[in-house]
Structure 1
Amino acid sequence: MNVSMPVPPQNLEAERAVLGAILRDSDVLADVLAVVRPEAMYFDHHRRILTAAVDIAQRGAPVDLVVLYDELRKRKWLEDVGGETYLIELWEAVPTGANAAYHAKLIADAALLRSLIHSANETIRDAYSPTAPAEDLLAQAERRLFAINADNGADVAPRCVGEVAREALIDIDSRIAAGATLAGLSTGFVDLDRMLGGLRPGQLVVIGARPSIGKTAFALNVADRVASGGAPVLFFSLEMPAREITDRLISMRSGVPMSRMGRPRDLRPDDLTALTDAAAELSSTPLYIEDAGDVTAARVAAVSRRACRRLGAQLVVVDYLSLLRPENPKENRTLQVGTLALRVKQMSRSLGVPVLLLSQLNRELEHANRRPRLADLRDSGEVEQHADCVLFLHREQNLPVDDPVWPVEVIVAKNRNGPVGEIGLAYRRPVLRFENAAVGR
């Protein structure tokens, strides 16, 4: 038994109307291209006609019956599109070009539906014959879906600076009305907020340090302070399980050292009270931990997208860059890390949330008694290029390592929206807590 496949979504009359409108008034071509590209046309002869019209316009020539006829003849497309007779039919199909943009939107909608069908079919094919883990296939399916909107046949229309300026003023007014003092989320550290202006939507903030200086603890302090203010946070822990991250949070909040938490018999009654209170506070804190290891940047983006949509996540933390699985295992490490950093940056922009990306530094710095520089970011200089801000945590190596409170510098080595410089914090190592303080205090 033959089963006929349904006809894909398309709109013949809308395509004819758009082409006729362009022939009537070539000025509407710009309006049409703001909505659809030639590839959005379902019918091949219409796609060829619009392609020819676009090329004519790009040369600065008018798009009319005579010029289009000549262009199609030169390309040997004239007979394929129906000849001179069909061009005249298109010209006669509409009286004016007034509704071209509306008809173009109908074409774009049909093209979008076809893209959705194609994406769904590819996902079904992959699911029936899996060549990768199920989670990777899920991430791939989500990437396909969300890529459709970025490539649905429309040109990106340039925005008038006046319109953007008005939006900026409205944003400033709304922040003033709300009593906000920063352009983004507060890190909880006064001097750092003053330099960065907060963690801004779409920003990629890279945090680097030598081993055991407190990268994860610092990022966790920022995440906890943001979440405590009511803004949901998604924390990717690629190195430690969620339980270990939560233990650190409890220690930070309770003031009970991690070492004592690991020895229950040493806990005092007041420790137990503090731990109970801290756990109760965390139960209502919108901080979400994803501890799946061996994940790709695509998987991070997919989970982050869902967290933004379902949980309202306003900050994403990735701990850390080198533990993300590269897209192409055959590439050299420099290219791999550069691509991973680019994917995380693209994610931050598409989601409109700041992302903290932790990164290791080159091993040479571990043996050099100097402050870190941008060139010390491990494996790839592209990490610096893709970052909006780069922060280094630094502690002088000649200081005693067994002091319970370490003076730590946060070096703002790159800052697209403000100054660079250093601020001082105190790192209370036993409880993994960073606090506002001057260096060396």
Structure 2
Amino acid sequence: MTNIERKQLVPTLAAVDLDGLLGYYQKQMREEAFFYLHKRGITEETAQQYRMGFEIGKIGFYVDQNQLGDYFEHRVIVPIRNYEGEIVDLIGRSIDNREPKYKALYGVDQYLFNYSALEESDEVVLCNGIFDVLTLNQVKVPAICVPDFGVFKEQHLALFADKRVYICMGNDESGRRESTRIEALLREHGNETYIISLPETIRDINDLFVRAQNPAETFLSLVSQSVEEATLAPVAPDIKNSTVYLEEYMKRFRGQVANLRTGFAKLDTQLFGGFGNGLYLLAGVGAVGKSMLLKQIADQLAADGTPVVFVSWDMTNFELWSRSIARIIGIEPQKVLGGKVEPEQVAEANKQYAKISKMLWMVECTMDTTLDQVAASIERIAVNVGKEPVIFIDHLQRIPVTNGKSPLTWQQQQAAIAYTLKQWSREWNCPIIAATAIELGQDNVPDSVQASADVVMIMQPVKSDDEQQQAISLVLTKNRNGTIGNIPLIFHNDRALFTE
């Protein structure tokens, strides 16, 4: 795969002696690091047991030169080990207010932190983060977590075979939703599971142990309570989710839904404020402008400071860049593609594009590039940025399908890809906007494909004699979070621009 990203992320795995590097960081442990750990309730003995380190940030080398230097400046550092005990990653937690709070060297997320707890006990607490695990370890409670930048995935399920799992994620809306999601996965796998509910105002397990008078007794009481509730009511009533529902409603009532604006006011209104988490399909016949519209919206989001990953099996990165440059200049894309614009004009437009590209990662794919490879790249980018990006996919029909035991029909392949993208959006809690082609005369995508989508938008050209302006009806045929409707757009071919 050709993965052309705007920045080099981290050195290659072979470029760094992680064990030696961790030893260096261990020698940097000092009063300010221990003071932070003490505030979090973590003892010096625990820091030594887990080989925690610190970076004071006084060495002037940079990651882009394959040297680490101040990459972990003012962070306590925790090693992540594989299941053979070898160090495969380092995570730094800032001790001040700098973002992101957690910063990984590589973003290796297939391994669980403190995996040995699973080997030593038939029951385990699946926690929200590393400090929760360290906290419980100090009171001899077996606990594990996915490293703080990662999420629990189906690939982790096999590790929990025949285990009783107590799930305790963050005590907020997203944490409660994540607990419910993980419990559903584990129960499908045959595990006995319990969700531990923390008291109001308590953020997580570590916060409970810092603030409670008798934290160990309080926590074990909460564990017992979760078991008792599940025993008395094997099928839990929906009252357990009522707090989540009320939180979601109050956010909407106050207009606090953090949806991402598309740059088209009428479309944002139809989408209840813009893109939320979920799968959005943008469909249309060939050459109607799907890629152009996707890139315009992607550029708008990136310009607003939202991290964006644009994945294309259809166009090269240069072709997509050319369309953005043409839009900035206000000329036809063909002139940029054909080298018919003065270099000074393109250079000036490229300066404006640089502001967009700071939050834009372009992933150029070939027909050999699989979705798994793309997912790995996206996760690595998310680790570097510190948050999940908005993902654009161009387009569905060109994505290769991994060969299974039995051949799939064309529609089954597209349905399988759409389902995978939907699972990504749920797992990463982000919007995914994917282009898909429909045949001339069709007015919608196949039912099996749109079944996975939250929103389906169809680009329908309107007959016009104007060669420079093409009227487009953007028809929402499915909208789980709002109403369906028709949004009139105009594509200005002479300016490479869509307007309402």
TM-score range relative to shorter protein: 0.5 to 0.7
1:133-148 equivalent positions in 2, closer than 5 A? none
Match for 1:106 among 131, 142, 151?
Answer: 142
Instruction: Provide the residue aligned with 1:249 in structure 2.
Output: 324
Give the distance between the partners of 2:119 and 2:398, measured in 1 at CA: 50
Match for 2:242 among 162, 165, 181?
Answer: 162
Instruction: Provide the residue aligned with 1:395 in structure 2.
Output: 461
Q: Secondary structure at the match of 2:322?
A: helix
Instruction: Provide the residue aligned with 2:447 in structure 1.
Output: 381
Q: Secondary structure at the match of 2:245?
A: helix
Quick check: which one's helix share is greater? 1
Give the distance between the partners of 1:215 and 1:14, measured in 2 at CA: 53
Quick check: which one's strand share is greater? 2
Change (3 A) 1:14 1:202: same
Match for 2:485 among 400, 421, 424?
Answer: 421
2:116 aligned with 1:9: yes
Change (3 A) 1:421 1:156: farther
1:144-223 equivalent positions in 2, closer than 5 A? 151=186, 155=193, 157=195, 160-168=240-248, 171-172=251-252, 176=256, 183-223=258-298
AA matched with 1:288: W
Instruction: Provide the residue aligned with 2:471 in structure 1.
Output: 407
Change (3 A) 1:227 1:156: farther
Using the TM superposition, give the Cα deviation of residue 403 of structure 1 relative to its aligned residue in structure 2, in angstroms: 1.2
Give the distance between the partners of 1:381 and 1:109, measured in 2 at CA: 38
Whether the aligned pair in 2 keeps the contact of 1:256 and 1:275 (CA below 8 Å) is no
Using the TM superposition, give the Cα deviation of residue 172 of structure 1 relative to its aligned residue in structure 2, in angstroms: 4.7
1:352-372 CA distances to partner (integer Å, 9 max, x unpaired)? Answer: 11000110103xxx2x4xxx5
Structure 1 unaligned residues grouped into runs of 5+: 19-31, 37-98, 120-146, 177-181, 437-441
Q: Secondary structure at the match of 2:193?
A: coil
2:431 aligned with 1:354: yes
RCO higher in structure (CA 8 A, sep ≥6): 1
AA matched with 1:221: Q
Instruction: Provide the residue aligned with 2:352 in structure 1.
Output: 281
1:321-366 CA distances to partner (integer Å, 9 max, x unpaired)? Answer: 111111226222222111111001000111111000110103xxx2
Q: TM-score, normalised by structure 2?
A: 0.53
AA matched with 1:275: V
Match for 1:296 among 362, 370, 379?
Answer: 370
Whether the aligned pair in 1 keeps the contact of 2:310 and 2:360 (CA below 8 Å) is yes
Whether the aligned pair in 1 keeps the contact of 2:267 and 2:274 (CA below 8 Å) is no
Q: Secondary structure at the match of 1:212?
A: coil
Using the TM superposition, give the Cα deviation of residue 167 of structure 1 relative to its aligned residue in structure 2, in angstroms: 3.1
Q: Secondary structure at the match of 1:387?
A: coil
Instruction: Provide the residue aligned with 2:495 in structure 1.
Output: 431
AA matched with 2:464: L
Whether the aligned pair in 2 keeps the contact of 1:373 and 1:413 (CA below 8 Å) is no
Give the distance between the partners of 2:420 and 2:119, measured in 1 at CA: 38
1:25-78 CA distances to partner (integer Å, 9 max, x unpaired)? Answer: xxxxxxx8x969xxxxxxxxxxxxxxxxxxxxxxxxxxxxxxxxxxxxxxxxxx
Q: Secondary structure at the match of 1:284?
A: helix
Change (3 A) 1:245 1:162: same
1:168-226 CA distances to partner (integer Å, 9 max, x unpaired)? Answer: 256458865xxxxx641011001111101244443100000011110101111111111
Quick check: which has more Rg, 1 or 2?
1
Whether the aligned pair in 2 keeps the contact of 1:242 and 1:291 (CA below 8 Å) is yes
Using the TM superposition, give the Cα deviation of residue 284 of structure 1 relative to its aligned residue in structure 2, in angstroms: 2.4
Whether the aligned pair in 2 keeps the contact of 1:232 and 1:313 (CA below 8 Å) is yes
Whether the aligned pair in 1 keeps the contact of 2:325 and 2:336 (CA below 8 Å) is no
Whether the aligned pair in 1 keeps the contact of 2:126 and 2:145 (CA below 8 Å) is no
Change (3 A) 1:345 1:403: same
Give the distance between the partners of 1:200 and 1:155, measured in 2 at CA: 33
Using the TM superposition, give the Cα deviation of residue 283 of structure 1 relative to its aligned residue in structure 2, in angstroms: 1.3
Change (3 A) 1:228 1:10: closer
Change (3 A) 1:407 1:328: same
Instruction: Provide the residue aligned with 1:310 in structure 2.
Output: 384
Whether the aligned pair in 1 keeps the contact of 2:282 and 2:290 (CA below 8 Å) is yes
Using the TM superposition, give the Cα deviation of residue 433 of structure 1 relative to its aligned residue in structure 2, in angstroms: 1.0
AA matched with 2:391: V
Using the TM superposition, give the Cα deviation of residue 416 of structure 1 relative to its aligned residue in structure 2, in angstroms: 0.3
- Figure out how many residues of one structure are paired with residues of the other and give that number: 298
1:33-112 equivalent positions in 2, closer than 5 A? 106=142
Give the distance between the partners of 2:259 and 2:145, measured in 1 at CA: 35
Give the distance between the partners of 2:397 and 2:371, measured in 1 at CA: 11
Give the distance between the partners of 1:353 and 1:342, measured in 2 at CA: 15
Give the distance between the partners of 1:323 and 1:417, measured in 2 at CA: 28
1:282-339 CA distances to partner (integer Å, 9 max, x unpaired)? Answer: 1122111100212222223222222222233431000001111112262222221111
1:148-185 CA distances to partner (integer Å, 9 max, x unpaired)? Answer: 99659663747723320343256458865xxxxx6410
Q: Secondary structure at the match of 1:335?
A: helix
Q: Secondary structure at the match of 1:418?
A: coil
Q: Secondary structure at the match of 2:361?
A: strand
